[in-house]
């Protein structure tokens, strides 16, 4: 990283931290006893070791990245229009990037963790930038019945995206405390529903349950774990969908599967894992086990292919999860970003990532 970029990044972070200290945080300490006292939420180790180890990990993350954590080629994106989305049948899923997924269920559209900005960062001149453009703009999206938010990290709760969406979304469903952030930003309180773990609500004939996850929260250095995080169960008339948000592997997946499964589709994080932070993100092997615990049918891996948030190659999560799914007989769906597919299309595997860096062509030459 060039010195000017480093100094700019440091200056930006300092400014954001200073502004945060001067701003009253009305969402503080809104987590419930369900998370504060459960065995799940014994202080989760965000990174291994003590402060020096954490500093070393952060240094490596910013300055010692392997060369292949970003694609060298262009990520294929299938642009989609509002007209096309309105025409697709119920039980269609459309991955828009990272953990942003558009679902058409029960005659309405539902959107998870909307992230349409260029960078997953508190500042838009530094921080992880997108590998690809969103397949559709917020303006072009059809009316959204509800946005489902898993937690307050910048790659899942994006201020610019929320504010642009506010006028075309009926409801925002959030874990405890995260809804307060939205209201502080100007989203009408009547549109916001905040749920504790295992609480349920109904919107437009679809039932939602906020369920446990093994993660953490915080948007600055000074508000760690003051708001809740959650996974989500989505129960339409004829479909059951699970959305993990971010989570390390834990026994709660089995409990969720026993209470709400089996699921027709699991949207499970598969990316940004690392041996240095094993408790807060799942390795692909753990993602597969979570899918099994949830009694899932088809698996759509998310949290990959859009931002550089770890030390593994950008395509490794997809390589590994497809191989593991094939070995275990689990249908893994890997559509193009923006490609609408049926939840029932259980054999929809497109290895689009293999052509991005010319890997497939290189393998053909080497195998001659």
pLDDT on residue 224: 86
Burial category of 134 from C-beta neighbours within 10 Å (exposed 0-12, middle 13-18, buried 19 and up)? buried
Q: Does the domain made of 39-366 have the CATH classification 3.40.50.1580?
A: no
Cβ-contact 240, 233 below 8 angstroms: yes
**Average confidence score pLDDT of the chain:** 87
Mean pLDDT of 126-136: 95
List, in sequence order, every beta strand (DSSP E) within 90-229: 92-97, 100-105, 108-112, 144-148, 169-175, 192-195, 200-203, 206-211
What pLDDT is attached to residue 31? 64
Distances (CA, A) of 314 to 106, 211, 264, 308, 362: 35, 29, 27, 7, 17
Beta strands in 167-323 (DSSP E): 169-175, 192-195, 200-203, 206-211, 231-235, 240-243, 263-269, 296-302
Residue 18 has pLDDT above 60, yes or no: no
pLDDT at position 38: 53
The answer to whether 332 and 346 are in contact (CB under 8 A) is no
pTM exceeds 0.85 = yes
Is pLDDT above 50 for 78?
A: yes
**330-344 pLDDT, tens digit each:** 999 999 999 999 998
pLDDT value at residue 55: 72
Strand 92-97 to strand 100-105: parallel, antiparallel, or no bridges (unpaired)? antiparallel
In this predicted structure, which of 158-167, 212-221, 250-259 has the lowest mean pLDDT? Answer: 212-221
pLDDT tens for 176-192 read: 999 999 999 999 999 99
Kindly tell me if the per-residue pLDDT of 243 is higher than 60: yes
CB 187: neighbour CB atoms within 10 A? 20
Local confidence band at 20 (pLDDT 50, 70, 90 cut-offs): very low
């Amino acid at each position: 990283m060039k010195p000017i970029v480093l100094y700019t990044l440091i200056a930006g972070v300092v400014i954001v931290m200073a502004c945060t200290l001067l701003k009253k945080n009305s969402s503080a300490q809104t987590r419930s006893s369900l998370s504060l006292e459960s065995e799940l939420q014994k202080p989760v180790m965000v990174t291994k070791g003590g402060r020096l180890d954490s500093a070393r990990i952060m240094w490596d993350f910013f300055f010692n990245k392997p060369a292949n954590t970003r694609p060298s080629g262009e990520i294929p994106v299938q642009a989609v229009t509002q007209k096309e989305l309105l025409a697709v049948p119920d039980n269609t899923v459309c991955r828009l990037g990272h953990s942003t997924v558009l679902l058409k269920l029960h005659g309405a559209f539902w959107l998870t963790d909307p992230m349409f900005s260029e960078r997953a960062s508190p500042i838009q001149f530094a921080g992880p930038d997108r590998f690809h453009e969103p397949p559709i703009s917020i303006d072009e999206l059809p009316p959204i019945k509800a946005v489902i938010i898993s937690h307050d990290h910048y790659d899942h709760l994006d201020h610019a995206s929320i504010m642009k969406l506010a006028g075309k979304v009926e409801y925002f469903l959030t874990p405890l405390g995260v809804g307060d952030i939205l209201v502080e930003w100007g989203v009408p309180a009547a549109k916001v529903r905040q749920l504790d773990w295992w609480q349920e609500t109904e919107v437009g004939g679809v039932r939602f349950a906020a369920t446990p996850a093994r993660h953490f929260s915080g948007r600055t250095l000074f508000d760690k774990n003051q708001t809740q995080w959650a996974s989500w169960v989505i129960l339409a008339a004829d479909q059951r969908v699970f959305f993990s948000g971010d989570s390390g592997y834990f026994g709660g997946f089995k409990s969720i599967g026993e209470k709400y499964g089996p699921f027709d589709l699991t949207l499970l994080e598969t990316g940004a894992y690392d041996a240095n932070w094993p408790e807060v993100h799942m390795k692909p092997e753990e993602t597969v086990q979570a899918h099994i615990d949830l009694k899932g049918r088809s698996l759509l891996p998310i949290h990959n292919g859009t931002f550089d948030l770890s030390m593994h190659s950008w395509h490794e999560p997809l390589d590994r999860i497809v191989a593991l799914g094939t070995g275990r007989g689990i249908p893994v769906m890997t559509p193009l970003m923006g490609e609408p597919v049926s939840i029932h299309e259980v054999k929809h595997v497109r290895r689009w990532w293999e052509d991005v860096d010319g890997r497939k062509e290189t393998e053909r030459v080497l195998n001659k």
